[in-house]
């Protein structure tokens, strides 16, 4: 094969494009009046994402980023970053993070943390109108699985997306544990000079049912859709180990959709690695030696 088509549209659009092109589950394609080019039932299945929530606290000392949210302070912040590359504008503000195991049943760190020196939503909305800080916390390897399906042959039409969040008991247990562990972290003596009242969820929420209700109403995506054109050799796999679509010639998928399982962490670096590895394979470059770096394995 001298030329190939590389589909790099992401975990939402790549399966949508494959389905619209006649590659997918044959019964579904026929129901959409799409000619079946290749029956591949895994296209659009196995969709995974990271779900997370915020635990917010008032800050007793004026050391948070709250003043930076005021419009009249932002021109100076922007100018310092633009001309000097320094200051508040030079950071994404997620200066601290971590991974933990919420239970000995897991052999990997199943909970991820990001800590932010302001109380605000991911998209910049609903900022608390005072000094505060928060922890972003979410599970890393939820067993819940979703799917993506076409709603129309129109390339501009949005697909039907079902992430199927929180569909197993493990999901609920992990989020309850995450809230309780976060509270334990926030009540360490080192934070005593700074920690004010718990804004969200609020210390009055304690029972499993109360925490579940909070998660149900406040958890949101971490923007990590993946795994909807999974790599593998089983009947639901879409691509092989080099991103080549099973049963097709000259077609590869190269994006986060080909992960068979969502990773423990943010997707960006891993997605870049996948693209670089497959690019080397396409160009015939020899792979780097396998890493021998040590890593922690839970006993």
pLDDT tens string 13-71: 999 999 999 999 999 999 999 999 999 999 999 999 999 999 999 999 999 999 999 99
76: left (phi over 0), alpha (psi -120 to 50) or beta: alpha
How confident is the model at residue 296, as a pLDDT?
77
In a domain, 228, yes or no: no
Strand partners for 112: 99, 138
pLDDT higher than threshold 80 for residue 273? yes
In a domain, 211, yes or no: yes
- The residue segments making up the domain with residue 65 are 51-143+166-221
| Report field, pTM of the whole predicted structure over 0.75 | yes
Q: How far apart are CA 226 and CA 171, in angstroms?
A: 18
Residue (of 154, 150, 147) closest to 28 by Cα position: 150
Q: How far apart are CA 190 and CA 185, in angstroms?
A: 10
Q: Tell me the mean pLDDT in the region 239-249.
A: 96
Nearest 10 degrees: CA dihedral of 78, 83, 87, 93? 60
pLDDT higher than threshold 70 for residue 1? no
pLDDT level of residue 93 (50, 70, 90 thresholds): confident
Three-state SS at 248: coil
Token pair recorded at residue 38: 């290749």
pLDDT level of residue 214 (50, 70, 90 thresholds): very high
Q: How far apart are CA 127 and CA 140, in angstroms?
A: 26
How confident is the model at residue 264, as a pLDDT?
95
Q: How far apart are CA 186 and CA 192, in angstroms?
A: 9
**Number of folded domains that form the chain:** 1
126: left (phi over 0), alpha (psi -120 to 50) or beta: left
Report, as residue numbers or ranges, the catalytic residues.
224
Three-state SS at 212: helix
pLDDT level of residue 108 (50, 70, 90 thresholds): confident
Which CATH number is 134's domain given? 3.30.410.40
In a domain, 275, yes or no: no
For residues 136 and 54, the answer to whether their CB atoms sit within 8 Å is yes
How confident is the model at residue 243, as a pLDDT?
97
In a domain, 299, yes or no: no
In a domain, 59, yes or no: yes
Q: What are phi and psi of 255, to 5 degrees?
A: -170, -170
pLDDT higher than threshold 70 for residue 142? yes
In a domain, 26, yes or no: no
- Residue written as token pair 């693209």: 275
In a domain, 266, yes or no: no
Number of other CB atoms surrounding residue 86 within 10 Å: 10
How confident is the model at residue 86, as a pLDDT?
96
Q: Tell me the mean pLDDT in the region 192-203.
A: 96
- Percentage of the chain exceeding pLDDT 90: 88
In a domain, 124, yes or no: yes
């Amino acid at each position: 094969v001298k030329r190939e088509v590389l589909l790099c549209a992401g975990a939402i659009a790549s399966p949508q494009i494959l389905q619209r092109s006649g590659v997918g589950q044959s019964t579904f394609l026929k129901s959409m009046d799409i000619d079946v080019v290749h029956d591949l039932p895994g296209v659009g299945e196995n969709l995974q994402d990271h779900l997370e929530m915020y635990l917010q606290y008032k800050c007793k000392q004026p050391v948070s980023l709250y003043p930076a949210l005021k419009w009249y302070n932002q021109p100076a912040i922007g100018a310092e970053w633009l001309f000097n590359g320094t200051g508040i504008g030079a950071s994404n503000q997620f200066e601290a993070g971590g991974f933990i195991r919420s239970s000995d049943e897991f052999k990997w760190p199943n909970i991820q943390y990001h800590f932010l020196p302001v109380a605000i939503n991911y998209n910049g909305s609903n900022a608390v109108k005072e000094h505060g800080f928060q922890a972003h916390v979410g599970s890393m390897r939820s067993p819940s699985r979703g799917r993506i399906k076409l709603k129309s042959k129109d390339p501009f039409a949005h697909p039907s997306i079902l992430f199927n969040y929180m569909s197993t008991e493990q999901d609920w247990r992990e989020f309850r544990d995450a809230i309780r562990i976060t509270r334990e972290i926030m009540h360490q003596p080192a934070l005593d000079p700074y920690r004010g009242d718990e804004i969200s969820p609020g210390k009055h929420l304690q029972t499993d049912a109360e925490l579940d209700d909070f998660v149900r109403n406040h958890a949101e995506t971490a923007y990590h859709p993946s795994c909807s054109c999974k790599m593998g050799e089983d009947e639901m796999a879409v691509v092989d180990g080099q991103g080549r679509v099973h049963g097709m010639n000259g077609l590869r998928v190269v994006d986060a959709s080909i992960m068979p399982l969502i990773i423990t962490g943010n997707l960006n670096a891993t997605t870049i690695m996948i693209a670089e590895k497959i690019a080397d394979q396409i160009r015939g470059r020899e792979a780097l030696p396998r890493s021998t770096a040590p890593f922690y394995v839970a006993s």
